[in-house]
Amino acid sequence: MRKTLVSLSIALAFTAGSAMADQQTLEALQAANIPMTTEQAEAILAAQGEQIAEAVAALVAANLDMAEQITKAAVSAAPGQKDAITKAVIAVVPAAQASAITAAANSGIASINISAGSTPSGGGAGGSNTASPN
């Protein structure tokens, strides 16, 4: 009985986390002023795991002129799906846009690092421009 309860709790936690990620993706797209039909918004919200990439690619296919903005917003909300989103979007855009889509996806990841207050670590001279907290 106890094992069943623990298993159900874990399953519920994974489901809730996935639903939260889908909500974040939808909210990020809305915040980026991406036009969506009710059906497109529902598809994004219902997507789980790699389905997010498919739903984002469908949205891009309907809004090719906003492919980069959509990619950046989606990746910033679902960074764990960056590779899948990038691959799915590149499959629906003209080949000439592939490098711009990759750059937009990388920019989506970079915006997460900036908003989280983290700085990329890098070796070499130059260091950081921020003052030491000491």
Give the confidence band of 122 by pLDDT, cuts at 50, 70, 90: very low
Residue 120 has pLDDT above 90, yes or no: no
The per-residue pLDDT for 123 is 46
Residue 93 inside a domain? The answer is yes
Q: How many domains does the chain have?
A: 1
CA pair distance 19, 126, nearest whole angstrom: 42
Residue 21 has pLDDT above 60, yes or no: no
131: left (phi over 0), alpha (psi -120 to 50) or beta: beta
Give the confidence band of 24 by pLDDT, cuts at 50, 70, 90: very high
Q: Which domain holds residue 20?
A: 10-115
The per-residue pLDDT for 50 is 84
Residue 12 has pLDDT above 60, yes or no: no
Residue 121 inside a domain? The answer is no
The per-residue pLDDT for 49 is 85
